[in-house]
Amino acid sequence: MNILVTGGAGYIGAHMTRYILRHGLRPVVLDNLVYGHRASLPEKTKFYRGDIADRRLVTKIIRKEKIDAVLHFSAYAYVGESVENPRKYYENNFSKTQKLLDTLLDNNVAHFIFSSTCATYGAPDVKKLHEKLPQNPINPYGFTKLAVEKMLADYSRAYGLQYAALRYFNAAGADDDGAIGEAHDPETHLIPLALQSILRPARQLKIFGTDYPTPDGTCVRDYVHVYDLAAAHLQALDYILKNKTSDCFNLGSENGYSVREIIKACEKVSGRKVNCLEAPRRAGDPAYLVADSSKARKILGWRPCYDLEKIIATAWNWEQNRRY
Ligand code: UDP
């Protein structure tokens, strides 16, 4: 099977690409390298540098590489930036995705796995988020992802597209061998920043908000390893292919950890102290986001394999030996 991975040189996309190779399928990566890293891809990976909205390029790739299905990772994902510059997000995450989808359908590629997000739910006041909750995003990033979900549902009804929208919770961790890992610029995510503050104590970690209505006052999130996410993509692809259907799934561990608990876990794994200080809340952060992923478990047979300590251990290994 030939699988087009858009954004395949990004953080989750690069892990997906390796996972596909390890499972005997053939990834073809399309990435514009705005945020992605060419070094994150194994030498032999078929790679195209370009834009998902470039109709000629995407058509050429589909025909030349005999693409059967598409895993669509390419998107901008900085929530704060999406508030400052929503145009960039609607254009890249929504408009370009529409152009990509149209090109796929015009070339009879009708199997599509979409990287969605728990940010499409907004900030609901529930213990665990399930797929039937209303989706009310609280920032443009979440809206762009929700808009694509709506478009997928309409395209599916009208044109027979078969898709899965996978709503990730907090993607984290790195390759077990340390070959690739998280490398955002700028980095905004908690686990890499906490580990970087251990390696370079001058980079103090700010704890954004200590007055949330949570057990220790800091935000609670559900962290899931990138290879567990990757596994769900192939399971979802298999599911939509076999059942000729479309659906959406939450992907989270169902375990919530506060910022302080993550800091403690980073200290335990590394054996060293995180240099941190308490800071005001970061705008747009919901207090508590934990998945109910029973649907993915039941329908796809998905089981996350990495617990928090394993997630952080892979991230720590990467941070100490980063190649890019
Ligand atoms: N966070 C923090 N300090 C940082 C980065 C993140 O306290 O330097 C907190 C953030 O407020 C959130 C949690 O850590 O509650 C996870 O944030 P991250 O950016 O990793 O993921 P998000 O949940 O925003 O997608």
Across the range 18-33, mean pLDDT stands at: 97
pLDDT of residue 253: 98
174-187 pLDDT per residue, tens? 999 999 999 999 99
Distance 258 CA to ligand 1 centre (A): 10
Distance 213 CA to ligand 1 centre (A): 16
Nearest alpha carbon to residue 144 among 233, 75, 81, 50? 75
190-221+254-320: CATH number: 3.90.25.10
Give 248's pLDDT tier (boundaries 50, 70, 90).
Answer: very high
Distance (Å, whole) CA 19 – CA 26: 10
Query: What architecture is domain 2-172+223-251?
Result: 3-Layer(aba) Sandwich (3.40)
Per DSSP, 38 falls in state G
pLDDT of residue 259: 98
Q: Is the pLDDT of residue 74 over 90?
A: yes
Mutate to test the pocket of ligand 1, among 129, 182, 189, 204 (most ligand atoms within 8 A of CB): 189
Nearest alpha carbon to residue 154 among 108, 109, 102? 102
Task: Tell me the percentage of the chain whose pLDDT exceeds 90.
Answer: 98
Among 121, 141, 288, 306, the one annotated catalytic: 141
Ligand 1 atom at minimal distance to the Cα of residue 218: 15
Distance (Å, whole) CA 47 – CA 9: 9
Cα distance from N-terminal residue to C-terminal residue, the chain:
30
pLDDT of residue 284: 81
Q: Is the pLDDT of residue 285 over 90?
A: no
77-124 pLDDT per residue, tens? 999 899 999 999 999 999 999 999 999 999 999 999 999 999 999 999
Instruction: Indicate which residue's Cα is closest to atom 21 of ligand 1.
Output: 189
Tell me the C-alpha to C-alpha distance, in Å, between residue 172 and each of 77, 97, 193.
Answer: 14, 24, 12
197-237 pLDDT per residue, tens? 999 989 999 999 999 999 999 999 999 999 999 999 999 99
Is residue 219 a contact partner of residue 169, using CB atoms and an 8 Å limit? no
Across the range 168-195, mean pLDDT stands at: 97
Return the domain boundaries, the chain. 2-172+223-251, 190-221+254-320
* 259 Cβ closer than 6 Å to some ligand 1 atom: yes
pTM for the model: 0.98
Is 141 one of the annotated active-site residues of the chain?
yes
Q: How many CA atoms lie within 13 A of 198 on its CB side?
A: 23
Distance 300 CA to ligand 1 centre (A): 29
